[in-house]
Amino acid sequence: MIQDEKLTIETQIKEKIEKLEAEIITLKDLTQPISPDCAIGRVSRMDAINNKSVNEAALRKKQVQLSALKETLKNIDNPDFGKCIKCGSTIPLGRIMIMPESKKCVRCASR
């Protein structure tokens, strides 16, 4: 992988990390406990609890993705960066641009 490509990927990873950190802050606010004395009806409270569960799942997913992106950023200068960990072939640049945290080529990831 050439240095210009790595620089582009590094910039994109940093932008994704920044965006994810902002989304995580928002989701943390949305996953605060629902107070039982809140002046909303029973059905509305159930809906709020359901929404909280959905937001908690989204928060966990974003935290995992953030962790993977930070790990990828640390390993970007590794000579094996951009190579599939399963078959060793080069991961296409398009895949890395879309999912920089991916460690497998499309063929190996789908198996």
- As a residue count, the chain comes to 111
Q: Domain boundaries in the chain? A: 3-79
The model's pLDDT over 70-108, given as tens digits with 9 standing for 90+, comes to 999 999 999 999 999 999 999 999 999 999 999 999 999
pLDDT in tens, 48-64: 889 999 999 999 999 99
Q: Quote the pTM value.
A: 0.81
Task: Count the neighbouring beta carbons within 10 Å of the beta carbon of residue 27.
Answer: 18
Residues 6+ apart with CB under 8 A from 22: none
* Alpha-carbon torsion (87, 88, 89, 93), positive or negative: positive
The Cα–Cα gap between 92 and 95 comes to: 5
Dist CA 109 CA 26 (whole Å) = 31
